Amino acid sequence: MPSQFSSLLRYAVQPRRTSITSIADAARLRKCPSSLLTDPWRPLHSFAASPPMPSGSTASNPQMSFPCLDAVESRTQEIVSRSLTNGPEPSYTTGVHKEFTSKEPLLLDYGGRLKESTIAYETWGKMNADKSNVVLLHTGLSASSHARSNEDNPRLGWWEMFIGPGLALDTNRFHVICTNVLGGCYGSTGPASIDPADGKRYATRFPILTMSDMVRAQFRLLDALGVGKLMASVGASMGGMQSLAAGVLYPDRIGRIVSISGCARSHPYSIALRHAQRQVLMADTNWNRGFYYDKVPPHVGMKLARQIATVTYRSGPEWEQRFGRQRADPSRPPALCPDFLIETYLDHAGEKFCLEYDANSLLYVSKAMDLFDLGIANQDSIRELRQKNKHRLLEGYSSDSEACSLSLPRVPYIEQQSNKDSSQTASGHDDAAASDDLVLGLSPMRDIPALVLGVESDILFPAWQQREVVDTLRKAGNANVEHVELSQDVSLFGHDSFLLDVKNIGGSVKSFLEQ
């Protein structure tokens, strides 16, 4: 066997100056004017990156092809040419809905202010005479008010199988209201809206918002509708957070609370997963720090972010059953572009979503989820902030130095054995101090019957978080807490169970509301 040992130990420094292609070559290969390439450091902009095929055919192996990148590039081209013909893309919408606009300025938890705010909403079932049969349904991150089809909009809703005559939210009994959240892009005020102060879109001049801000905006709608007390507040995922936030903010105005696959505060793992999505999105140069509304939207970043999100929506065992190790086309050689069936599924999920939802809304609403913490320490500090910022609603709109300009610490994070600090707001879920913090925080809900639903296979909002809510409510003195946990035998659908499991999720909700 011919072989050769390097005779001496040496540093593995390989020659770097050998160009693969000269600049002239590159220009030819990329089919663009060589003048554009005089600076070899100039990165290609996103839709001119045609493949730099090797010049000769003498290489050991063929060049890989990248159909997934070709697809992304044609998508960009398509957006550009459609826009040149028809003007920029239309706004995001899931169709006809009602809108309510409050002209009273809204102060947000972290000091932001909205001169006016619109909430998009839809309703199903009849409101009774004393308005005592209203169920407020809160949505997950990216959902619109269109939870179910109706006369005005026959398109299927995101909870189609759960709302209707005889269903989980029985429209023969209840008047169901679903809103698009503040910060969203389906009709409610969000980053894509016009700032009335200067007639320009907010973009990333939109203020940081919280679950409580969203809930306050919803209750303005209820005020306007003359609904004093809800029969029930119901929500899943982020909606489960809002449902609890509503219970804390307006305990006297809520009859029952349902929180499905939600939590009392976000834990670092779910923050990490959302962080990854935001970072990927913000790295898309088309995002342009939020100012893309009259340009090509950051569809690549959105596609990538949605793929990461999709990984967290289901469970490993479910994919094991559904996809296993099947390849999309086993007769073809493996590729770096999507290849296994699971990959084409993720790719498709990203593709479907990338122009369906506003990128800035994703950032702000996802951040609001991270900030969610019903512990008393956080509530107190927000209360203080709101007091301090009250004056801002009355003031004129002048330049303001309180930009959200958090910098990374100079000294990067260093691995430590334990940097737990009990003076900090709440950490470990089995931490007694943290638990007291939550018990005090959730105590306003002590007299509201609550149903808390969790799913064992959920990675994003793990079942221990719903157990935490249940234990906390009980410790706070609530004697009417029902807890349902779907084991892995019952549902492998992970976080998405709330969208799919009509029997177990829908059934539990129905019997709880009709007690």
What secondary structure does DSSP assign to 393-415, as a single string? Answer: GTS-----S----PPPPSSPP--
User: Interface residues for a copy of itself in 284-343 (CB under 8 A)?
Assistant: 284-286, 288-291, 293-296, 300-301, 304, 307-308, 311, 315-316, 319-326, 328-330, 332-343
Active-site pick, 495, 497, 501, 508: 495
Which of the ranges 134-142, 156-164, 428-436, 506-514 carries the binding residues for a copy of itself, by CB under 8 A?
428-436
Pair type for strands 134-138 and 232-236? parallel
Phi/psi at 106 (5° precision):
-115, 125
Please count the CA atoms within 13 angstroms of the CA of 500 that sit on its side-chain side: 12
Stretch that binds a copy of itself, among 76-84, 127-135, 237-245, 503-511 (CB under 8 A): 76-84
**Which residue in 437, 458, 471, 496 is the catalytic one?**
458
For residue 137, the cross-strand partners are 178, 234
Smallest separation (angstroms) from a copy of itself to the CB of 415: 9
Contact flag: residue 13 with a copy of itself (CB under 8 A) = yes
In angstroms, give the least distance from the CB of 244 to a copy of itself: 16
C-beta separation of 358 from 192 below 8 A = yes
Cα(196)–Cα(469) distance, integer angstroms: 40
Handedness of CA 269, 270, 271, 272 (dihedral sign): positive
Q: Please answer whether residues 255 and 232 qualify as being in contact, where contact means their C-beta atoms are separated by less than 8 angstroms.
A: yes
Instruction: Give the residue among 282, 322, 323 at the shortest CA–CA distance from 304.
Output: 282
- Under 8 Å CB-to-CB from 322, ≥6 apart: which residues? none
Figure out which of the listed residues 4, 35, 387, 515 binds a copy of itself, where binding follows CB under 8 A: 4
Residues 335-394 that bind a copy of itself (CB under 8 A): 335-348, 351, 363-364, 367, 370-371, 373
* DSSP 8-state assignment for residue 505: I
> Considering beta carbons, is residue 79 or 232 the nearer one to a copy of itself?
79
Span 215-244, contacts to a copy of itself by CB under 8 A: 220, 223-224
412 touching a copy of itself, by CB under 8 A: yes
Is residue 495 flagged as an active site residue? yes
Considering 142, 237, 315, 491, which one is annotated as catalytic? 237
Distance CA 98, CA 145 (A): 9
Q: Which of 38, 65, 74, 172 binds a copy of itself (CB under 8 A)?
A: 65
Q: Are 358 and 287 in contact (CB under 8 A)?
A: no
Would you state the structure tokens that stand for residue 48, as one six-digit string?
């001119």
C-alpha–C-alpha distance, residues 148 and 163, integer Å: 7
Residue type, 71: A
CA distance 213 to 435: 24
Fill in the per-residue mask, 241 to 280: x = in contact with a copy of itself (CB under 8 A), - = not in contact. ------------------------xxxxx-xxx-xx-xxx
- Check residue 501 for interaction with a copy of itself (CB under 8 A): no
Measured from the CB atom, the residue of 91 and 172 that comes closer to a copy of itself is: 91
Question: Nearer Cβ to a copy of itself, position 144 or 237?
Answer: 144
Of 82-90, 132-140, 240-248, 469-477, the window that binds a copy of itself (rule: CB under 8 A) is: 82-90
Shortest approach of a copy of itself to residue 514 CB, angstroms? 30
Q: Is 462 exposed, middle or buried (0-12, 13-18, 19+ CB in 10 A)?
A: buried
Q: Does 157 bind a copy of itself (CB under 8 A)?
A: no
Active site (annotated) includes residue 458: yes
Report the nearest approach of a copy of itself to the CB of residue 230 (Å). 18
Shortest Å, Cβ 482 to a copy of itself: 26
Q: Is 484 helix (H, G, I), strand (E, B) or coil?
A: strand
Active site residue 400: no
Q: Based on CB atoms, which residue is closest to a copy of itself, 426 or 455?
A: 426
CA-to-CA distance for 342 and 348, rounded, in angstroms? 10
Cα-only R_g, the chain: 26
- State the minimum distance, in angstroms, from the CB of residue 513 to a copy of itself: 28
Is position 201 an interface residue for a copy of itself (rule: CB under 8 A)?
yes
Q: CA-CA distance, 217 to 99, in Å (whole number)?
A: 12
Residues 123 to 142 in contact with a copy of itself, rule: CB under 8 A: none
Q: Which of residues 434-473 bind a copy of itself (CB under 8 A)?
A: 434, 462
* 42 in contact with a copy of itself (CB under 8 A): yes
Identity of the residue, 307 or 478, whose beta carbon is nearer to a copy of itself in the bound complex: 307
Contact between 35 and a copy of itself per CB under 8 A: no
3-state DSSP assignment of residue 90: coil
Residue 183 is classified by DSSP as T
Cβ distance to a copy of itself smaller for residue 35 or 515: 35
Nearer to a copy of itself, 160 or 319 (CB): 319
Query: What separation in angstroms does the CA of 91 have from each of 188, 347, 357, 358, 470?
Result: 12, 24, 9, 9, 40
Q: Looking at the annotation, which residues are catalytic?
A: 237, 458, 495
